[in-house]
Amino acid sequence: MLPQQPAPLPAAPSTPPGPEALRVYLDCSTLTCDFDFVRTHITFVSWVRDRHDAQVDVLVSTQGTAAGGTEYTVTFIGQQGFEGRADTLVYDAPPAETDDAVRRGLAHVMSLGLVRYAAHTALAKDLEVTRAAAPPGVGPQRQRHDPWNSWVFSVGTSGNLNGEATYRYGYFSGNLSANRITERWKTQLSAYGSWTRTSYQLSDSLGNPYWYVSPTHSFSFSGLVVRSLGRHWSAGVQASAQSSTYENRDYNYVVGPAVEYDLFPYDQSTRRQLRFLYGVNLERDRYDQVTLFGKTAQTLATQTVTVALALRERWGTVNVSLNGSQYLHDLRKYDAGLFGGVSVQLVRGLSIGVSGDYSAVHDQLYLPAAGATQQQILVRQRQLATQYTYFVSYGVTYTFGSIFNNVVNPRFGSSGGGSMSCFCF
């Protein structure tokens, strides 16, 4: 594991290296991969805009850490004379770390990994390897006593106000969480609440103005306790609670056990996952208004299934998940959703990304028998009956021209460092 606080990187000359330098392609979809910064601080290589022109493909993937930070896995893949040479380094960014510190840490890790390949180029004779001096009194790292016993807490709030002569909007939310994650146990607790008030100035049949006010609120809680059962298996208990005026729910409680199997070992989760999860839950509901089925409260059993595939490879990324839930008292009452996101480099310079989701909805037991007023429908203050929901997006990028992209020129704004295309799902 690499140090979390690497030594400051020295300023680098803006002149790009000659053609004999190692050709490198950076494949990073995270916003903290500041490509302009990387190019100006790692100058002993030539950064190219297409992986087919590179001798080393640098692939960066991320996942959250137990402390609330981010673990960056940097994989170096050799090609064009370096086939068969690969390496993986890790950088751990602490929680609430600044963007500048993160990009410096990533650049430090990339420099260390690229030296191995640059040492076999004509530029090797111009390279020097040094070690930053340790601060006075700093000795070998020792295991520190943790007074928090691996617990990490977070609390936050946000809100905004906006409006005009005939429209006003106010929003406020708050959240808190408590997490404890170790190799064997994973415990996550979180709570969230939001309040929204929207006002519209309308006119009655006589032309007299009046304000229509649309207030909504929602509260939710989720809890998860998971026990690791090896490199592929885990089991745990999930619980949740919510209250939502939009869904006619005074409260909704759900609790039950679940088991999960990952086809790939969990330690490969930053690059590939294929998870199968099954759970059985007990659900308790109380409604604000009498439902279409004449209920003001009820307790039911459900089963849930999740199949999720996530791949991040040199050719692109794939994220596909299938989620389903079903009431056991009536198997015709179910909800099934499919989400997919794919980003692929088809040929040199041409990338395409597509994402979308579709849900078949047949379990709206909470709909009020009274229906919704015209105003509530127009401002989406109440959930309406539906049999499906969907969302689709796409993006296509084609880049051509010089394969080298080492000059950074920030005059009159960003230089656009953007020879890399990213479709993030």
Judge whether 113 lies within some domain.
yes
Indicate whether 283 belongs to any domain.
yes
Question: Element (H or E) spanning 88, and its range?
Answer: strand 86-93
**Same domain (yes/no): 318, 195:** yes
Domain stop point among 126, 143, 166: 126
Mean pLDDT value across the chain: 80
Q: Is residue 168 part of a domain?
A: yes
The pLDDT of residue 261:
95
Q: Same domain for 185 and 259?
A: yes
pLDDT over threshold 80, residue 85: yes
Q: Could you please report the per-residue DSSP string of 292-355? A: TTS-SEEEEEEEEEEEEEEEEETTEEEEEEEEEEEESS-TT-EEEEEEEEEEEEEETTEEEEEE
Q: Is residue 169 part of a domain?
A: yes
User: How far is Cα 324 from Cα 178, in angstroms, rounded to an integer?
Assistant: 28
Q: 38 and 185, same structural domain? A: no
Q: How many domains does the chain divide into?
A: 2
CA angle 362, 367, 370 (to 5 degrees): 140
Same structural domain, 116 and 158: no
Higher pLDDT, 350 or 184: 184
Secondary structure (3-state) at 112: helix
How far apart are alpha carbons 285 and 242 in whole angstroms? 10
Percent of the chain with pLDDT over 70: 79
- The C-alpha angle 61, 63, 64, rounded to 5 degrees, equals 155
Which of 81-85, 139-143, 328-332: highest mean pLDDT?
328-332
Please work out, in degrees rounded to the nearest 5, the angle formed at the alpha carbon of residue 409 by the alpha carbons of 407 and 410: 145
How large is the average pLDDT for residues 309-334?
Answer: 87
Kindly state whether residue 330 falls inside one of the protein's structural domains: yes
> Do 190 and 78 have their domain in common?
no
Assess whether pLDDT exceeds 90 at residue 282.
yes
Task: Kindly state the average pLDDT of the residues 189-210.
Answer: 90
Tell which residue, 364, 284, 367, has the closest CA to residue 332: 364
pLDDT of 123 over the 90 cut: no
Question: Which residue did the predictor score with more confidence, 247 or 129?
Answer: 247
CATH of the domain at 316: 2.40.160
pTM value is: 0.62
Check if the beta carbon of residue 213 is closer than 8 Å to that of residue 373.
no
Q: Are residues 197 and 242 in the same domain?
A: yes
**By CB neighbour count within 10 A (0-12 exposed, 13-18 middle, 19+ buried), where does 400 fall?**
exposed
Residue that wins the pLDDT comparison between 239 and 421: 239
Mean pLDDT is lowest, of 129-133, 178-182, 215-219, 310-314, for 129-133
Of the listed ranges 12-26, 30-44, 89-103, the least confidently predicted one is 12-26
**52, 117: one domain:** yes
Residues 335 and 201 in one domain: yes
Two tokens at 233?
A: 């298996």
Q: Specify if 144 maps to a domain.
A: no
The domain spanning residue 87 has which CATH number?
3.40.50.10070
Q: Which has more pLDDT, 303 or 74?
A: 303
Q: Which two tokens stand for residue 307?
A: 């199949």
Say which residues have a Cβ less than 8 Å from residue 83's Cβ, sequence separation at least 6.
none
Over 90: is that where the pLDDT of 191 sits?
Answer: yes
Q: What is the pLDDT of residues 333-353, one digit of tens each?
A: 989 999 998 888 777 667 788
Element counts in the chain: helices (H) and strands (E): 3, 17
Residue 250 lies in a domain: yes
Please check whether residues 69 and 168 belong to one and the same domain: no
pLDDT band at 61 (very low <50, low <70, confident <90, very high): confident
Same structural domain for residues 85 and 169?
no
Q: Confidence class of residue 260 from pLDDT cuts 50, 70 and 90?
A: very high
Last residue of a domain, one of 56, 91, 126: 126
Together in a domain, 233 and 328? yes
Q: Same structural domain for residues 166 and 88? A: no
Domain that residue 246 falls in: 151-398
Is residue 11 in some structural domain?
Answer: no
Q: Coil, helix or strand for 103?
A: helix
